[in-house]
Chain A
């Protein structure tokens, strides 16, 4: 079956993997965002904790989780491989190069933006995912693990909020380019629909990232002290 490995190690094959996983990860963002809106509910975290309990224990979700992990792994690995190859394609750099005159900076900085997002993810995963799944959070009133309080206390620290907001800005630019880029790579291009894809991509990036960024900001600025 050498054709499979040949296909997916070719430049376009790798791009296709990046595109498919990227768009898949976009769908994850939507689910994640909608679920996390429970944070805004003024019920002391009960709903959010029910939700997080469900996400942590439901067998379907636990299975899909592995797919998500694979999505990240492939997206990162293939992007990294392509970035290395692309860097190697020009070993002598221009003395004078002015790419800002022909393209937006974020399109040229996908690897950098991706790396920032990856670093954020590591912090994010350790703080919330790891501690929720493998840590020993106190139970809340419904006897669910009280992830909400952890979120609350995290988002009361200014540097943590800053990290999150910065990461969302990076994610936003990553998505602005990545969303339409995914369609282009998969050849889903048409004179009628491509302009629409561009607009949806912009809207998607801004809405999703603003939504995520609103959470730490909300807690930091607007959420009063927790009443225990």
Chain B
């Protein structure tokens, strides 16, 4: 059963203030008696580690990278939203809250989102104080831009490297606490299981990726800040190591997994060029401000795009959505691109791409002007594809970018396992069924800097400050399970590599649980995934041992968990008989091919409960209450 989501009583704007007063505090002298484990050192993890250490807790921070600074938060380009209203253009906490709820297609909790909008302003202040070099106006004040179709300019940025600069800010704060001895940093250490003692999260099992050593670590509370699971699709804009193992292990130990099928697809990515493709690269959405999306009208037209005359081109977004044109939301742009390709009108050798053409704007404004706006993106495109976008139209295709689903958490960011918290992309809490541009960085840092330091105290204050050791048999048992699983993986000695299984899974997920889904396809996918899972455990090929740097072994463990998650995603997508945000069920659309929500029956969070191996997962529903916004159907015609 789903526990209470602990949303404070009272008017929306006062909930967080009230809650901060009502949570229990840990005596300052006692804080050093509490250990907290934080898994993941991206924005959400590093900010939490630094902030908790500053408060006096003993933090143990874990990352599978060689340094906390490598987390994939670093790759976020666009920016970070904050309701500062520095631009005097009508922004406010409520507007950011409203935009986020609406953008999430009314599948997020009002209270969480409002809090996110409230603390957004503190994040900017904090980052500036750390020395994050945000873009500035000539007068020396912070610059903003409008992002992702927002009506106000509330996005703070550092050229196209905002994620990098914010992460390095959090990393520097973390490094300072490492130097003080308040954070013990474990690099190249991958969490392979959660240790639950008497129903409470009390530690983790890790594998040292260099030596293969399996270790157990204890603490009074555990925070998972391990990012999203977009790599379940094999190809995504996520980094290669991004995986679901930590939250998935926690899920199997009792943490509910919420809305796993809510996946965000980003329309402007560089398309796949061949089977060897290992990942996809995102290009900023801003390109759609000036680029025109088109495909040839005729199927299989393989002419050089420059030789296709105007009347034989189909500018399908402009044709279908005259009001918004090329600036329709991400999911609409993505689905239409897929549709054009499914009709056989895709371009490039794979036929899985559409053109994004800058010829008009270059003619209108000149190449210089265009280069000022998009120079670095054009350069990046040319580096990867070898084509010059000043001469040839870019080819783009949608790719998986962000996962809104994640571990279910209450208002305190605590999962269904007491003492286990989830922050950042790892939890499900703030973006509903779709995330606004420039909101991922905001949420990661909000959770880490300004939410968890308060809410974890509430739990710790009710926990005895006596040392937690790894002596409890639950630790030995979890460690033994981890060892057994690794041995099993190594001893299969089949014929297919982990990457081959991963690609096969990705193919199923992308085809049937990607941009557009239908019941029949999802049922087919479920059967396919189950088959793949059996094959994985009987035909996996690995070389070498556990006691060494063995990247194929690391990968195999992650793929095994992705396969299980994939099945749950399919279940979730199949049960949600509506379309909303990133979840588009073909059976549920308006006559204009818009997502058709069913607020009557599906205005809830689907929190899945692991019921044991081989048993179907149990669906728990958290009904969403909307007291401050009116649910509307969007239209971009």
Asked if A and B form a direct contact in the complex, defined as CB atoms under 8 angstroms apart, the reply is no
Where the two chains meet, the residues of B that have a C-beta atom closer than 8 Å to any C-beta of A are: none
Where the two chains meet, the residues of A that have a C-beta atom closer than 8 Å to any C-beta of B are: none
